Amino acid sequence: MEPLELSLQYTGAATPANHELQQLTTLAQTAHQALEDGTGRGAGMRGWLRFPSQYLQHEEFARVQTTAEHIKQNADVLLVIGIGGSYLGARAVIEACTSRYYNETRKGTPAIYFTGCTLSEADFADLEQLIAGRDFYINVISKSGQTLECAVAFRHFRRLLSEKWQGNAEEINKRIYVTTDARKGTLLEESKRQGWPTFVVPTDMGGRYSVLSAVGLLPIACAGIDVEQLLQGAAAAQVAYESPANAYGKNACQDYATIRYFYHKNKRKSVELFASYEPGMVMFGEWFKQLYGESEGKQGRGLFPASVNFTTDLHSLGQYIQQGRRILFETVLVFNQPHNTIAVQAEENDGDGLNYLADKTLFEINRKAFQATALAHAKGNCPNLVISLEKRDAYHIGWLIYFFEKACAISGYMLGVNPFDQDGVESYKKFMFALLGKPGREHDKVRAKLKKDYGVE
Ligand code: PA5
- 349-356 average pLDDT score: 97
Under a CB-based contact definition with an 8 Å cutoff, are residues 272 and 329 in contact? yes
- Neighbour-count burial of 437, counting CB atoms closer than 10 A to its CB (0-12 exposed, 13-18 middle, 19+ buried): exposed
- 16-41 average pLDDT score: 93
- 254-264 average pLDDT score: 94
Q: How many CB atoms lie within 10 A of CB 247?
A: 10
> Quick one: CA torsion of 295, 296, 298, 299, rounded to 10 degrees?
140
d(CA 197, CA 176): 7
C-alpha 203 – ligand 1 centre gap (Å)? 12
d(CA 250, CA 252): 7
Per-residue pLDDT reduced to its tens digit, 159-176: 999 999 999 999 999 999
Question: Quick one: pLDDT at residue 7?
Answer: 87
Query: Model's pTM, two decimal places?
Result: 0.96
Under a CB-based contact definition with an 8 Å cutoff, are residues 248 and 259 in contact? no
Nearest Cα neighbor of 196 from 135, 153, 154 is 154
Residue tagged active-site, from 60, 95, 286, 294: 294
Please report which confidence band the pLDDT of residue 247 belongs to, taking 50, 70 and 90 as the band edges: very low
Does pLDDT of 11 surpass 90?
no
Does pLDDT of 151 surpass 80?
yes
Please report which confidence band the pLDDT of residue 46 belongs to, taking 50, 70 and 90 as the band edges: very high
Sign of CA dihedral 44, 48, 50, 54: positive
Under a CB-based contact definition with an 8 Å cutoff, are residues 419 and 32 in contact? no
d(CA 368, CA 277): 11
Contacts of 412 (CB under 8 A, 6+ apart): 295, 296, 418, 419, 420
Per-residue pLDDT reduced to its tens digit, 392-401: 999 999 999 9
Does pLDDT of 354 surpass 90?
yes
- Mean pLDDT over each residue of the chain, to the nearest integer: 95
Does pLDDT of 208 surpass 50?
yes
Question: Quick one: pLDDT at residue 245?
Answer: 63
Question: Quick one: pLDDT at residue 339?
Answer: 84
d(CA 353, CA 349): 9
Question: Quick one: pLDDT at residue 246?
Answer: 53
> Which residues, judged by CB distance below 6 Å to any ligand atom, belong to the binding site of ligand 1?
83-86, 142-144, 147, 150, 206-208, 294, 422
Q: Could you give phi then psi for residue 32, rounded to 5 degrees?
A: -60, -45
Per-residue pLDDT reduced to its tens digit, 423-442: 898 889 999 999 999 999 99
Catalytic, 250? Answer: no
> Quick one: CA torsion of 158, 72, 89, 230, rounded to 10 degrees?
160
- 128-138 average pLDDT score: 97
Q: Whose C-alpha lies nearest to ligand 1, atom 3?
A: 207
Under a CB-based contact definition with an 8 Å cutoff, are residues 106 and 78 in contact? no
d(CA 67, CA 79): 15
pLDDT above 90 covers what percent of the chain?
91
Under a CB-based contact definition with an 8 Å cutoff, are residues 385 and 329 in contact? yes
- Alpha-carbon 222 to chain mean position: 18
C-alpha 358 – ligand 1 centre gap (Å)? 49
Q: What is the CA radius of gyration of the chain?
A: 23
